[in-house]
């Protein structure tokens, strides 16, 4: 499948996504949804090693929050991070190439789905360890405060991360030092298969409030509601008001990971999934637009994703000789693992 | 010409880097008060914006340093107790160290950890007496164990300037060392070994404070055995060419290493020497026992650490 040099289609440049209008936000919701559907198909077809954690159902959180950010703001993402990366403006071509482990991927095929990130868009990594990004975002917020550059940092994490001690430590440091960081809990109700009701004592917002952090519960299925809450939080953080916590109540329509399609674990009922599907963020966002505009956007997104697929699958597989490239920022080459 | 203590050397290295580069900052516990020594006086000179006293949240402030490093800063972290490194192994190994590779080289994480008082401190018992440098070398984190004040100064400056995470162990038993400084203090490059004493019969690779014990033993046996004392200074990446050159001269090897024996640093040196280097006799290592936990009572604590007697016996063993 290695492409001949020069034959691959090109990817658009990454630029911070314009998410200023309801139409732009609907377009991004549609792009994330379509991207994830395409990725699911490519997992099934064997073109994406390791599978993915699909973001389908949660799109309004990424779109609403990222629409409240400035181009120079920073964020940390999660194992379920494709939506954050796209909403920040990465080209779907290069994200998909990363998922497929190709040289034109955002990370050159070194990160894959769980680590896909574009530092030039202020994404300080997507993370395979639940909760690990929260203190990294706090550090970015600390650096921004010291630099006086007005940048805000956002930490995305799920309800599962509420039980990671390091997240609670992060709340404390951010609150004590009044750092410009917004903690965004994407509460999709389950830490893999464990319901939040069986895992989180007290409440998510109560935990943040205990540290003196203003905490708000938000309808995470409504991009406009998320945007409004995120703007309040981001604006306050930017003007020196300190951290904020948003609990975005949302739902993933797919499994925790694509392996669920094979394992078929039973931890939620079809009725529950159907009930949440009636609250799908896409029709809700589309209802704000002229139907003709929706059709135009859907067509454009579908063409974009088709070209992303062509690009990703035409991109070359990395040369195994470079498997240890980038291990050190100074180019240090480790010893080989085998003695000839 | 001044007498420089090991701790003062770390203190001067921090002050010089803080003065040279406004991106450098220090996070740690009790560092404003300078409790452990290396940060003494830095708060007064550089202020609380750069010398940041943290709550007892090692995991969060270590990850914070990663976020700050990715945002243009060059953080230094001080850990008063070597075992705290177990707490932040996730942040250092799974996050900071892997970041460059996982992002396809988009960014490195220039942070430096300093552990003033690693290894036994005589009577601090099981959870304050570890010397886990082999773990970091194994994981691929740049790992530095200076033996002398001038090396402590020079290696810390280079560590802070390095674009990757570096862990610097300052062995408790080396902290009392003082050195007459005859030249201007300067950065010492990472990855370069130092020959403290030249010899022709046997090469002793000694780590950290054990360099001084090795030199003392070399002097004691000088009339019978010509011992070369090689201090790797950086354990990862190791200066294999310097070791190869030394073994070309001596052909015999003893590693003097305060690691637990199995899977420790000494094991790697012996394995590589056996596979790739010139040896004329089976090599030896003097280490802590397998899986050692240091007991409290001083005699028990010392009983599990590598000793001069053991080194002496190992030297005679490789010569017969």
Strand segments, DSSP code E, in A13-77 are: 74-76
**Residue A334: inside a domain, yes or no?**
no
pLDDT at B294: 96
Res. A4 pLDDT band, cuts 50 70 90: very low
Mutation target among A76, A106, A146 for the B interface, most CBs of B within 10 A: A146
User: Any idea which residues of B carry the catalytic annotation?
Assistant: 128
Q: pLDDT by residue (tens digit) across B153-206? A: 999 999 999 999 999 999 999 999 999 998 899 999 999 999 999 999 999 999
Judge: B103–A143 Cβ closer than 8 Å, yes or no. Answer: no
User: Residue B29: CB partners within 8 Å, gap ≥ 6?
Assistant: B35, B53, B54, B55, B56, B58, B78, B80
**Residue A14: inside a domain, yes or no?**
no
Given a cut of 50, whether residue A5 has pLDDT beyond it is: no
Question: What total of structural domains would you count in chain A?
Answer: 1
Residue among A127, A138, A329 whose CB faces B164 most closely: A329
Residue among B104, B110, B275 whose CB faces A110 most closely: B104
**Residue A337: inside a domain, yes or no?**
no
For residue A318 the two structure tokens come to: 């990395």
Q: Please, where are the H alpha helices in B75-197?
A: 84-87, 89, 98-102, 133-139, 149-161
Among the listed residues A55, A142, A58, the one whose alpha carbon sits nearest the alpha carbon of residue A95 = A55
- Give the dihedral sign, CA A229/A232/A233/A238: positive
Return the percentage of chain A with pLDDT > 90, whole number: 89
Q: pLDDT by residue (tens digit) across B239-269? A: 999 999 999 999 999 999 999 999 999 999 9
> CATH code at A45?
3.40.50.970
pLDDT at A287: 97
Task: Domain of residue A203: give its range.
Answer: 22-298
**What is the Cα–Cα distance from A86 to A190, expressed in whole angstroms?**
23
> 0.80 exceeded by the pTM?
yes
Cα B16 to Cα A275, B8, B90, B133, B152: the distances in Å are 62, 12, 30, 26, 13
Q: What's the complex ipTM?
A: 0.94
Given a cut of 60, whether residue A92 has pLDDT beyond it is: yes
The DSSP element (H or E) to which B13 belongs, if any, is helix B6-20
| Residues in B touching A135 (Cβ below 8 Å) | 59-64, 66-67, 91
Residue among A119, A166, A326 whose CB faces B63 most closely: A166
β-bridge pairing B142-144 and B166-171: parallel
CB atoms within 10 A of CB A313: 18
Distance of CA B87 to the CA centre of its chain: 19
Mutation target among B51, B61, B64, B99 for the A interface, most CBs of A within 10 A: B64
Q: Quote the minimal CA–CA distance from B162 to chain A in Å.
A: 8
| Residues in B touching A115 (Cβ below 8 Å) | 102-103
For residues B101 and B150, the answer to whether their CB atoms sit within 8 Å is no
Given a cut of 60, whether residue A127 has pLDDT beyond it is: yes
Please provide the average confidence, as pLDDT, over all residues in chain A.
94
């Amino acid at each position: 499948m290695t492409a001949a040099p020069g034959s691959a289609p090109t990817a658009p440049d990454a630029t911070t996504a314009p998410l200023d209008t309801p139409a732009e936000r609907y377009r991004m919701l549609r792009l994330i949804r379509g991207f994830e559907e395409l990725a699911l198909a490519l997992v099934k077809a064997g073109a994406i090693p390791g599978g993915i954690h699909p973001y389908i159902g949660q799109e309004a959180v990424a779109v609403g929050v990222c629409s409240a950010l400035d181009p120079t703001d920073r964020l940390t993402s999660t194992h379920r991070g494709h939506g954050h990366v796209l909403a920040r403006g990465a080209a779907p071509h290069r994200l998909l190439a990363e998922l497929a482990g190709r040289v034109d991927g955002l990370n050159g095929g070194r990160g894959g789905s769980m680590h896909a990130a574009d530092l030039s868009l202020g994404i300080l990594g997507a993370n395979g360890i639940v909760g690990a990004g929260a203190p990294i975002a706090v550090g970015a917020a600390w650096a921004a405060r010291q630099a006086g550059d007005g940048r805000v940092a956002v930490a995305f994490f799920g309800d599962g991360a509420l039980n990671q001690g390091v997240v609670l430590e992060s709340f404390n440091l951010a609150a004590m030092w009044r750092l410009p960081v917004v903690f965004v809990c994407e509460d999709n109700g389950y830490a893999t298969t464990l319901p939040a009701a069986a895992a989180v004592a007290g409440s998510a917002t109560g935990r943040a409030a205990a540290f003196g952090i203003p905490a708000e519960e938000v309808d995470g299925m409504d991009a406009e509601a998320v945007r409004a809450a995120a703007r309040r939080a981001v604006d306050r953080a930017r003007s020196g008001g300190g951290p904020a916590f948003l609990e975005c109540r949302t739902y993933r329509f797919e499994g925790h990971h694509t392996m669920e399609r094979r394992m078929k674990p039973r931890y939620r009922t079809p009725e529950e999934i159907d009930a949440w599907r009636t609250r799908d963020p896409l029709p809700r966002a589309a209802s704000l637009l002229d139907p003709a505009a929706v059709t135009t956007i859907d067509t454009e997104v579908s063409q974009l994703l088709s070209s992303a697929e062509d690009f990703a699958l035409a991109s070359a597989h990395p040369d195994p000789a470079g498997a240890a490239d980038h291990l050190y920022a100074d180019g240090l080459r480790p010893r080989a693992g085998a003695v000839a | 010409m001044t007498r420089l203590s090991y701790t003062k050397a770390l203190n001067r290295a921090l002050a010089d880097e803080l003065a040279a580069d406004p991106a450098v900052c220090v996070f740690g516990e009790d560092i404003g008060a300078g409790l452990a020594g290396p940060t003494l006086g830095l708060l007064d000179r550089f202020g609380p914006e750069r010398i940041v006293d943290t709550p007892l949240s090692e995991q969060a402030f270590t990850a914070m340093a990663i976020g700050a490093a990715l945002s243009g800063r060059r953080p230094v972290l001080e850990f008063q107790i070597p075992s705290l490194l177990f707490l932040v192994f996730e942040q250092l190994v799974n996050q900071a160290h892997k970041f460059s590779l996982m992002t396809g080289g988009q960014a490195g994480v220039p942070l430096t950890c300093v552990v003033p008082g690693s290894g036994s401190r005589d009577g601090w018992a099981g959870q304050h007496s570890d010397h886990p440098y082999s773990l970091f070398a194994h994981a691929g984190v740049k790992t530095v164990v200076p033996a002398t004040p001038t090396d402590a100064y020079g290696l810390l400056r280079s560590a802070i300037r390095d674009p990757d995470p570096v862990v610097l162990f300052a062995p408790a038993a080396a902290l009392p060392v003082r050195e007459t400084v005859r030249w201007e203090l300067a950065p010492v490059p990472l990855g370069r070994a130092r020959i403290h004493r030249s010899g022709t019969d046997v090469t002793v690779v000694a780590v950290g404070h054990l360099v001084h014990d090795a030199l003392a033993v070399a002097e004691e046996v000088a009339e019978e055995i010509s011992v070369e004392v090689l201090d790797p200074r950086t354990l990862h990446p190791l200066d294999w060419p310097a070791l190869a050159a030394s073994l070309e001269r001596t052909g015999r090897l003893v590693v003097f290493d305060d690691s637990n024996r199995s899977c420790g640093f000494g094991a790697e040196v012996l394995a590589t020497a056996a596979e790739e280097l010139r040896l004329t006799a089976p090599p030896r290592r003097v280490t802590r026992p397998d899986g050692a936990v240091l007991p409290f009572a001083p005699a028990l604590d010392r009983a599990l650490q590598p000793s001069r007697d053991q080194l002496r016996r190992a030297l005679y063993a490789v010569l017969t």
